[in-house]
């Protein structure tokens, strides 16, 4: 089957593409509103885009009525955010933060989530997350109905039990990070406890293997 994306409704495009580009990492984003309340919301349109400088991209959708979500408005106003890593342990709380609370209602306050001060940005970190990344907006692209925030990561916090001090190897499998599968109400999640490895060949190794 061939699908011409321009001929599909945005909703159908979303369900097809979000079922193919999987698993997607989840950014559990904390920001501050005008009154200093902490907003927390998950977004699975999220990815690293480079390391020099360390860049992330957040795709923040609009509300059903077309208005901007609190997270987007807060980032545009303050240019600061924190990405809290989602794991099997805190997945239920993350999911509750996806509830359509009215604008201006703090998910952190409603759910009683504990927070910790960040180092260089004002939005706090979620204590329940084993790792958090402080970031600052660099630029935002408005393309059609898409709101794409590009940010620079400034500080990483990670519990000592999940990182080797000398090598800085992160024990992702021990942390139990999860990813998003299909979008929508029927969508699921994936675990990262099981992995497989493949050695990346040099060209010389590839040639030798082909000749053998």
**Full residue range of the structural domain in which residue 58 is found:** 5-211
- pLDDT at residue 115, rounded to an integer: 98
- pLDDT at residue 176, rounded to an integer: 94
Q: Please count the structural domains in the chain.
A: 1
Q: Tens digit of pLDDT for each residue in 34-50?
A: 999 999 999 999 999 99
Between residues 187 and 22, which one has the greater pLDDT?
22
H helices of the chain, in order, are 10-20, 70-78, 91-97, 107-111, 172-175, 203-211
| Global confidence as pTM | 0.92
- pLDDT at residue 38, rounded to an integer: 97
- pLDDT at residue 186, rounded to an integer: 66
Residue 124 contacts by C-beta under 8 Å, 6 or more apart in sequence?
A: 30, 38, 82, 115, 116, 117, 118
- pLDDT at residue 200, rounded to an integer: 94
CA pair distance 127, 148, nearest whole angstrom: 27
Q: What is the mean pLDDT of residues 142-160?
A: 96
- pLDDT > 80? residue 192: yes
Q: What percent of the chain has pLDDT over 90?
A: 80
The residue among 158, 108, 163, 107 whose CA lies nearest residue 133 is: 158
CATH code, domain with 168: 2.30.110.10
Residue 193 contacts by C-beta under 8 Å, 6 or more apart in sequence?
A: 173, 176
Dump the DSSP string for 115-149.
Answer: EE--SSSSSPEETT-SEEEEEEEEEEEEETTEEEE
- pLDDT > 90? residue 131: yes
Q: Tens digit of pLDDT for each residue in 21-34?
A: 889 999 999 999 99
């Amino acid at each position: 089957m061939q699908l011409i994306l321009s001929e599909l409704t945005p909703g159908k495009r979303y369900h097809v593409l979000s079922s193919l580009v999987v698993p997607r990492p989840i950014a559990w984003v904390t920001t501050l509103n005008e009154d200093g309340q902490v907003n927390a919301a998950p977004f699975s349109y999220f990815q690293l885009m480079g390391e020099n400088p360390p860049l992330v991209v957040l795709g923040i959708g609009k509300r059903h009525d077309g208005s901007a979500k609190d997270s987007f408005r807060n980032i545009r106003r303050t240019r600061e955010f924190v990405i809290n890593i989602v794991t099997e342990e805190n997945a239920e709380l993350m999911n509750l933060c996806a509830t359509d609370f009215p604008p201006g209602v703090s998910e952190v306050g409603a759910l009683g989530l504990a927070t910790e001060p960040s180092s260089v940005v004002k939005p706090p970190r979620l204590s329940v997350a084993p790792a958090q990344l402080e970031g600052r907006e660099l630029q935002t692209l408005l393309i059609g109905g898409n709101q794409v925030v590009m940010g620079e990561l400034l500080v990483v916090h990670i519990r000592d039990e999940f990182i080797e001090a000398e090598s800085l190897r992160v024990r992702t499998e021990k942390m139990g990070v999860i990813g998003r599968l299909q979008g929508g109400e029927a969508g699921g999640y994936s675990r990262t406890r099981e992995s497989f490895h493949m050695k990346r060949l040099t060209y010389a190794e590839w040639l030798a293997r082909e000749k053998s």
